[in-house]
Amino acid sequence: METRQLGGSGLTVSIVGLGCNNFGGMKQSLDNAGATAVVHAALDAGITLFDTADSYGTAGGSESLLGQALGARRRDIVLATKFASPMNREVSTRFNGGRRYIFKAVEDSLRRLNTDYIDLYQYHFPDPLTPIDETLGALDDLVRSGKVRHIACSNLPGWQLVDAAWTARHHGYERFLSTQAEYSLLARSAERELFPALRASHMTLLPYFPLASGLLTGKYRKGGDVPADSRMAIGRFAQQMTEARIERVEALIAFAAARGRSVLELAMSWLAGKPIVSSIIAGATRPEQVRANVAATGWTLSADDLAELDRLTLGGS
């Protein structure tokens, strides 16, 4: 498995990571046995980055199941989790980056993950009420205490990444190494604003939804039925199945097939070919999906291939 540096730091991660947002929830989520099977398949495949969040699952269920599944192998991997998202939206919908909130959130995550340190602690969503220097100051204290090794963020716009980088440098705080954002052959808007900000801030990208919630697996075809138990049957995901997107998927399937490849290989290898990408956060519900994701990054696309993909996918991303 190829490994890459995260944000120019000494921390290295596997080019394919495991996203654990489907662990420990209510519907269409993995239970303890399912999560353990997927985690062990990832470990066997050489995946070293395991990504979760305190708000994934029910009452921190994703963290709890991941901690149980890793067991003694926890020391072999880079354990990444997130804070700031409301744990119970019936009580609060605020994204919280305040010092008091962070100190409690990290203790809760450490307990659920059954570990005494977090390798990568990520600011999940920006809090418009809390100045970034307060958030970074609290995270810096956690690094100095040994409870957190490195920090990162997710879903911050480009200007906030640059602001956070300046604030960290000005105060001598730990800096964000990476950010998570949606990025795939069907969602390329990050290239316009986010990529320049990442380069200016010496950060790298951990793309999520690399397969566009399944659209880039070949599972959903034009004129085909959507399985009732699939993600695309859920309201917020079903909205992604526009006619224009499905047409684009069909074009990508044809592109890959003409070269003796699958659209999954195309989607994963295209991302792996981006130097700004440190690790591709790919979820899985079965061990065979983990193995397929890992195997799909071995295609080196030519300059002509990339130019053709730009023609097929840019415009309306």
Identity of the residue numbered 10 = G
Q: Name the token pair of 188.
A: 């390329």
The catalytic residues are 56
pTM, two decimal places: 0.93
Phi, psi of 116 (to 5 degrees): -105, 5
In the block, tokens 């495991």 appear at 18
Find where tokens 């199945």 sit. 241
Domains in the chain: boundaries: 3-214+267-300
Return left, alpha or beta for 128; rule: phi > 0 is left, psi -120 to 50 is alpha, else beta: alpha
pLDDT at residue 221 in the model = 67
- Regions of the chain where pLDDT drops below 50: 316-317
At 207, is the secondary structure helix, strand, or coil? strand
CATH class of 3-214+267-300: alpha beta
Lookup: tokens for 175: 């800096």
pLDDT at 317: 47
